[in-house]
Amino acid sequence: MLPEFDEEFASPADYAKYYRSIGMQVVPAYTHKETKNWKRPHLENWKQFTHELSTQEQFDEWYGKTGRYSARSNMGLITGVHPRRIVVVDLDTHKNPRAQIWWDGVHAEHNAGVMSECPTQRTGGGGFQMFFLSPEGWSCPTCKNSELGVDIRGVGGFAMLPPSNHESGKTYGWVEDKEPWTIEIEEMPKWMCDEIDMLGTSAVDAITGQRIKTPTPEFTTNEWGKITDGREERMYKIVFRAVLDLYRECPFVSKEEEEKAKIHCFNSYVDEVETRLKELGTPKHVLLEREGRGKTLFDQKWRSTMRGWDTKISEEAQKPWIPPAHETFQPVYAKIIKPEEFNGEKPSQPQEPPEGLFRVFRKSDLKALPPAEFIIEGLLQRYGSNYITGWPGCGKSFYTIGSCIAIATGQERFLGRKVNVHGPIVYVTTEGLHDHYTRMKAYEMYHDVDVDEERYLVIPDAMNLLENGDRMRLLKTIDWNISRMKDPPVYVVFDTLSRVIPGADENNQKEMSLFVKSENEVQHAFNTTTGLVHHLSRSGAGNMRGSTVLEGSADTCVVLERDKGESIGIIRAAKMKSAPDGWEMEFRLEDVEVEPLKSTLAITEAPKKAPDAGFGGKQETGLVYAAGVKMTEEERDQILNAANDAWNKQEPWSISTNQKFTERHIKVALTKILKRRIKDDKHAILFAQDFVERGWWSVKTRNKDTKLKGLQISEMFRNGTHFLRKPPGSPIGSFRENVEQNQ
C-alpha cells in the first residue's frame, strides 16, 4: 500500500519526506534566481549521494523541523540510486513533437499501443517526465537525444520534483491520477530498456564514463535485405568503386564533378544499409550519423580514397575491368541477325517470359484496358490517388469519413453523386479515435446506415511511410486483416499526409517522390484506391502544400472551403484527370447529438437554392447562397443595387488586382455589405463568378477611351426579366478570361 499524502496542505518538507518514504533520493536544488545552471542539487558534493540513499541524519539536516532546506520549494531526485534505482524518461513535447511520436511509437510496436501506467509529472517548461524502476542487471544510461527531444535520467542523473519553481514562473506538478501516491512506481519493461539503449551511441554512463554501444544484430542483413552489420566495410567498398569509376571516366575531374559523384555515392550507401536505431520521424541518414556510420565517416573515407588518386587509384584503373557477376548481363533474344540469315522469319520468342521483368503493353493491350472508373461519380477515381484538401476546420475529415461510410455501407449516393463501387475501407489516422467514432456515428444516425464491423478498419498507430520497415508493416497489417474483411479494401485513406511522413520536408521533391512510390505500393499490393487528406499552401493561391510532385501524381484533387461557424461549404474540383474539372458544388454540415452533451456534425447535400425573385422584382422569403456565403434576399438585392449605382457613376466594381484596397475592388465592395463573410480576394472573385453564372452580372467595358472594365447588371435584370439558371450563351468563359487577363 502506498503511504497517504495530502498535497493541498503539504509543505516542501512534507513533499521531501514523502519522496524519501517511497525510496526516492530527494535532495535540495537551486532556484533559477541563484544561478544560471539551476537544475542541479544545492550541495557542494552531491556525487556521494549517487550510489545509495542518504542517511536519516543527513536527511533531517536538510528537511527536519529545523532543517536547512525545510522551507525551500526547489528539490530534485538523483536517479539510479540503490536500492530502488528510480529512473526518469523526460519528453520535451513542448519543444519537439517528435518526443511524443517516439513515445507513442515504442508503445505501439511493443505494447499494442497501451500506454505505460506510471507516476508522471508535468515540468515547469511544459514537458512530461515518467518514473520507473530500473530492472536488476541493467544500468540505465543518462543520455540526451536533442533531435528527438528525449532525455533519459539514469545512473547519476538528476530531475527536478514538485513543488519546485521553474524560471517560466510555473511550478512542477504531478499529472492528476498519476501522482506517486496514487500509482506505484513499477519496473521498466525490458522492451523499453532496449529502446533506451538504442536511443544513440552518444549516450554516456555518468558513473563509468563509458560509451553505450548499440547492440550488434545476429544477422548481416535484415528481413528486407538492408545491411545492418558490416556497414563500414560496405561503405569503403562503395567509395572505392565510385572513385575508381570516376577516374576511369576521366583522370582529370573538376571539384563540381567530384562533388556530384560523392553525393550520388553517399545516397547509394544510405539506400543499401539500415540503421539499428528506432526513432519515428527521423531520417535514416541522421540516425546513421548518430551511430557513427553516417556522413562524417563517409567524408573521411572519401578524402582518404581520393588521396590515392595518383597512386593506388591510378594503378587499379590500368587493370582490365571485369564487372562483378551480379552486374553482368548476357542478351539471349537480342542477337544481331544478318540480313542473309533472316529469311523473312522473326527470331523465335519464348512462350512465357522469365520472372522479374517489367510489364510491357502493346497497342492491343492498351485498347483492352477498361476506361477510367469512379467509385463516387466525379469525386473519387478508382485505382488512383485522390487528394482531399482545404484549410483547417473546413470539413475535410467529415467529407472523408462520410464518403468512406457511403462506400462501406452500400449507399447509392453521397452528396447527391452516385456511388458506383462498394466494399471495405481502411482508414489510417493518428488523430483521436473517440472523435473519429463520434463522427462516424453522427453520419450513421443522420443517414440511417450502420457500418459493418469488418468493413471499416481504422489504423491509429504512428508510422513513417518513407521508411521501409513501417511501409512493410502497413502492408502486412492490411494483408492479415483481409482474411477477416473477406475482400480486399476498396479504399485506403491516409488522414493526414503529414502524419504518415513525420519529419519529412513536404517541399523536397525526392522525399515526396518516395512517398508517391510508397502510395503506389499500397495501390498495387491490394488493387485498391488511395485517398490522402492534405492542407493547402499558405500562399493563398489555393494549391496543395508542398512539392508539385504531389499534385502531379494526383488523379483527382478536391478543395473544400467553408467559413468557420457556417453550415454551408463548397467542394471545388481542382483537378480531374479523367473527367471535367473546375466545377463547384455545395455541401452542408448538420448538427447531430451523438451522446449526452456531445454534439458533432454530419456531412450531407446542401439544400437546393430557392427560386429568386430577381432584381427589382417581388421578393420571396428565404436565404440565398453564393460561393458558400449565406445572405438574405434583401442583402442580395442590396449588392445588385450597389453594383448598378457604381456602374452608373462610371466607377464599376472590378475583379482586377490593380484595384486592390480601392472602393472599386470587389473584395472591398462586398465586405461593406456582407461584413466578414468574404474572407479574401479569391473568395470575392468566386462570389462574383457565381453571380455571373446566374446571369445577374457580366464583365463589360464601361469606358472605351480609358478601357475601363467592371461588373454590370445584366440586361435581363435591368429589364425585370427573371430566370433560375444561366441563360444559353452566358459569358462564363469570357468572365474567366477576363479574370486571367486582369490578374
681 close to 741: Cβ distance less than 8 angstroms: no
pLDDT at 656 over 50: yes
What is the model's pLDDT at position 274?
A: 83
Mean pLDDT calculated for residue range 529-557? 84
| 541 CA to centre of own chain | 21
Q: At CB < 8 A and 24+ separation, what contacts does 179-184 make?
A: 179/5, 179/7, 179/119, 180/2, 180/18, 180/19, 180/22, 180/24, 180/119, 180/131, 181/2, 181/3, 181/4, 181/5, 181/18, 182/2, 182/119, 183/117, 183/118, 183/119, 184/2
Conformational region of residue 612, where left means phi above 0, alpha means psi within -120 to 50, and beta covers everything else? beta
pLDDT at 619 over 50: no
What is the model's pLDDT at position 352?
A: 66
- Residue 173, helix vs strand vs coil: strand
Please give the domain boundaries of the chain with CATH numbers for all domains. 7-197 (no CATH), 218-344 (no CATH), 381-605 (3.40.50.300), 623-742 (no CATH)
96 close to 144: Cβ distance less than 8 angstroms: no
- Residue 29, helix vs strand vs coil: strand
What is the model's pLDDT at position 611?
A: 43
- State the amino acid at position 472 in one-letter form: M
- State the amino acid at position 369 in one-letter form: L
CA–CA dist 220, 105 (Å, integer): 25
CA–CA dist 274, 291 (Å, integer): 11
DSSP per-residue string spanning 35-51? -SS-SSBSSS-GGGGSS
What is the model's pLDDT at position 417?
A: 92
Phi, psi (rounded to 5 degrees) for 657: -70, -20
pLDDT at 296 over 80: yes
Residue at grid coordinates 543520455: 143
In this structure, the number of other CB atoms found within 10 A of the CB of residue 182 comes to 13
Cis omega (within 30 of 0) on the bond before 163? yes
What is the model's pLDDT at position 730?
A: 33
541 close to 548: Cβ distance less than 8 angstroms: no
116 close to 63: Cβ distance less than 8 angstroms: no
Task: Give residue 607's pLDDT band: very low, low, confident or very high (50, 70, 90).
Answer: confident
Q: Which of 371, 401, 466, 421 is nearest to 602 (CA)?
A: 401
CA–CA dist 722, 611 (Å, integer): 10
For the chain, the helix, strand and coil percentages under 3-state DSSP, each to the nearest 5: 35, 20, 45
What is the model's pLDDT at position 355?
A: 64
Determine which of 47-56, 97-106, 217-226 has the lowest per-residue pLDDT on average.
217-226
442 close to 592: Cβ distance less than 8 angstroms: yes
- State the amino acid at position 736 in one-letter form: R
What is the model's pLDDT at position 216?
A: 41
Mean pLDDT calculated for residue range 151-170? 91
Determine which of 461-475, 480-494, 630-644, 692-706 has the lowest per-residue pLDDT on average.
692-706
Partners of 381 in the beta sheet? Answer: 374
CA–CA dist 627, 609 (Å, integer): 12
Write out 255-268 in H/E/C secondary structure.
HHHHHHHHHHHHHH
Task: Determine the longest span between alpha carbons in the chain, in angstroms.
Answer: 113
Write out 427-440 in H/E/C secondary structure.
EEECCCHHHHHHHH
Between 388 and 257, residue with greater pLDDT: 388
Mean pLDDT calculated for residue range 673-683? 81
Between 50 and 620, residue with greater pLDDT: 50
CA–CA dist 60, 596 (Å, integer): 54
Q: Which of 153, 164, 124, 125 is nearest to 19 (CA)?
A: 164
CA–CA dist 107, 499 (Å, integer): 17
For helices 190-197 and 98-110, give the axis angle rounded to 10 degrees.
140
pLDDT in tens, 528-539: 999 999 988 765
544 close to 550: Cβ distance less than 8 angstroms: yes
pLDDT at 690 over 60: yes
Between 47 and 273, residue with greater pLDDT: 273
90 close to 150: Cβ distance less than 8 angstroms: yes
**Mean pLDDT, all residues of the chain:** 81
What is the model's pLDDT at position 570?
A: 92
Partners of 187 in the beta sheet? Answer: 133
Task: Give residue 350's pLDDT band: very low, low, confident or very high (50, 70, 90).
Answer: low
CA–CA dist 174, 158 (Å, integer): 17
- State the amino acid at position 544 in one-letter form: M
First to last CA, the chain: 74
In this structure, the number of other CB atoms found within 10 A of the CB of residue 179 comes to 18
Mean pLDDT calculated for residue range 159-167? 95
Query: Exposed, middle or buried: residue 462 (CB in 10 Å: 0-12, 13-18, 19+)?
Result: buried
What is the model's pLDDT at position 120?
A: 96
What is the model's pLDDT at position 172?
A: 95
Cis omega (within 30 of 0) on the bond before 83? yes
pLDDT at 617 over 50: no
What is the model's pLDDT at position 180?
A: 95
What is the model's pLDDT at position 536?
A: 86
Q: Residues 6 or more apart from 130 whose CB is under 8 A from it?
A: 88, 89, 91, 116, 118, 119, 120
What is the model's pLDDT at position 727?
A: 33
Mean pLDDT calculated for residue range 469-477? 88
Distances (CA, A) of 280 to 163, 285, 389: 33, 13, 25
What is the model's pLDDT at position 178?
A: 93
161 close to 39: Cβ distance less than 8 angstroms: no
What is the model's pLDDT at position 19?
A: 95
The C-alpha cell at 606 is: 446542401
Q: Which of 642, 660, 669, 741 is nearest to 701 (CA)?
A: 741
pLDDT at 612 over 60: no
What is the model's pLDDT at position 103?
A: 92
What is the model's pLDDT at position 223?
A: 47
Task: Give residue 157's pLDDT band: very low, low, confident or very high (50, 70, 90).
Answer: confident
The C-alpha cell at 659 is: 484595384
pLDDT at 486 over 70: yes
pLDDT at 716 over 70: no
State the pTM of this model.
0.43
Q: Which of 12, 24, 18, 22 is nearest to 54 (CA)?
A: 24
Partners of 130 in the beta sheet? Answer: 89, 120
588 close to 604: Cβ distance less than 8 angstroms: yes
DSSP one-letter code for 570: E
pLDDT at 183 over 90: yes
DSSP per-residue string spanning 304-373? HHHTTTTTHHHHHHHSPP---GGG----SS-----HHHHTT-PPP--SSPPTTPPP---HHHHHHSPPP-
Dihedral in degrees, nearest 10, Cα atoms 508, 514, 517, 523: -90
CA–CA dist 248, 230 (Å, integer): 27
CA–CA dist 552, 376 (Å, integer): 21
Q: Residues 6 or more apart from 121 whose CB is under 8 A from it?
A: 128, 129, 131, 161, 162, 172, 173, 174, 175
CA–CA dist 110, 112 (Å, integer): 6
CA–CA dist 260, 273 (Å, integer): 21
The C-alpha cell at 646 is: 457604381
Determine which of 68-82, 361-375, 617-631 has the lowest per-residue pLDDT on average.
617-631
